[in-house]
Amino acid sequence: EVQLVESGGGLVQPGGSLRLSCAASGFTFSSYWMSWVRQAPGKGLEWVANIKQDGSEKYYVDSVKGRFTISRDNAKNSLYLQMNSLRAEDTAVYYCARWTDSSGYNYWGQGTLVTVSS
């Protein structure tokens, strides 16, 4: 059974940092593009970043470029999101999701809440 389990969310002050993790199981993690998608309270889904199978390609939404870094450790079946210089508008539930061109985001984690507030 495919499972994606996020962790690392919490309350952080503006300007602070946080590192999210996503533990993957039930599939060959190194064979898939992976993404982070977020959802602010009461708002829609927003793609944040994605990373190629071997980590050689990474793409970001403009609003987080230069502040967030997506990475992966295929030996640990884990996806990460390092978030620096956090702003109030980064407050959201952050989901990790598995991507394939042939079937889109067909697996999602349960999400982890990040709250940026003083």
Partner 1 sequence: SYELTQPPSVSVSPGQTARITCSGDALPKQYAYWYQQKPGQAPVLVIYKDSERPSGIPERFSGSSSGTTVTLTISGVQAEDEADYYCQSADSSGTHVVFGGGTKLTVL
Site residues, partner 1 (CB under 8 A): 35, 37, 44-47, 50, 57, 59, 61-62, 95, 101-106, 108-111
Total count of residues recorded for the chain = 118
CA distance 55 to 112: 23
Closer residue to partner 1, CB minimum distance, 29 or 35? 35
Nearest approach in angstroms of CB 75 to partner 1 is 26
Contact between residue 3 and residue 24 where contact means Cβ atoms under 8 Å apart: yes
Closer residue to partner 1, CB minimum distance, 54 or 118? 54
CB atoms within 10 A of CB 22: 26
Nearest approach in angstroms of CB 5 to partner 1 is 12
Nearest approach in angstroms of CB 39 to partner 1 is 8
What are the distances in angstroms from CA 19 to CA 13, 101, 110?
14, 27, 17
Closer residue to partner 1, CB minimum distance, 78 or 111? 111
CA distance 36 to 114: 13
Nearest approach in angstroms of CB 16 to partner 1 is 26
